[in-house]
Amino acid sequence: MNAEQRLLLRHAILRQLAATAPASLPPATLLHGVALAGFRLTSDQLQNELDYLAGKNLLQITPAALSHGLPRARLTPAGRDYLEAEALI
| CB contact at 8 A, 47 and 27 | yes
| Dist CA 87 CA 82 (whole Å) | 9
| CB contact at 8 A, 30 and 16 | yes
Q: What is the SS3 assignment for 73? A: strand
**Residue 63: per-residue pLDDT:** 85
| 34-67 pLDDT, tens digit each | 999 999 999 999 999 999 999 999 999 998 777 7
Q: Is the whole model's pTM more than 0.85, yes or no?
A: yes
Give CA torsion, residues 29, 33, 1, 49, to 10 deg. Answer: -40
| CB contact at 8 A, 53 and 32 | no
For the cut 90, the answer to whether the pLDDT of residue 69 exceeds it is no
| 74-84 pLDDT, tens digit each | 999 999 999 99
